[in-house]
Amino acid sequence: MKRYKFKVIIPLALSLFLTVVLLAVGFYKPQPGQNISPSPKLSQSVISDKIVASSPQSQTENLQLQKVARVIDGDTIELENGQKVRYIGINTPETVDPRKAAECFGKESSLKNRELVEGKSVRLEKDVSETDKYSRLLRYVYVDDALINDYLVRQGFAYASAFPPDVKYQDQFQNAQREAQQENRGLWSSCESGSSGITDQNATAENCQIKGNISSTGEKIYHVPGQRYYNQTVVDESKGERWFCSEDDAQQAGWRKSKI
Distance CA 194, CA 156 (A): 9
Q: In Å, how far are 53, 144, 145, 148, 151 from 46, measured between CA atoms?
A: 9, 10, 9, 11, 10
pLDDT value, residue 12: 63
State how far the Cα of 199 lies from the Cα of 70, in Å rounded to an integer.
25
Say which residues have a Cβ less than 8 Å from residue 206's Cβ, sequence separation at least 6: none
Domain 44-191, CATH among 2.40.50.90, 2.20.25.240, 3.40.50.280, 1.10.10.60: 2.40.50.90
pLDDT by residue (tens digit) across 9-67? 666 666 667 666 665 555 444 444 444 333 333 344 546 545 455 555 435 555 789 99
Low-confidence ranges of the chain (pLDDT < 50): 27-44, 46, 49, 51, 57-58, 193-203
Does 86 qualify as catalytic in the annotation? yes
Task: Establish whether 136 is a catalytic residue.
Answer: yes
Q: How far apart are CA 241 and CA 221, in angstroms?
A: 10
Give me the residue spans of the domains in the chain. Answer: 44-191, 210-257
What's the one-letter identity of residue 226? Answer: G
In whole angstroms, what is the distance from residue 78 CA to residue 108 CA? 18
| Residue 101 CB neighbours (<10 A) | 12
Given the residues 78, 118, 136, 219, the one annotated as active site: 136
Catalytic, 3? Answer no
Confidence (pLDDT) at 251: 87
The SS3 of residue 87 is strand
Instruction: Please answer whether residues 180 and 188 qualify as being in contact, where contact means their C-beta atoms are separated by less than 8 angstroms.
Output: yes
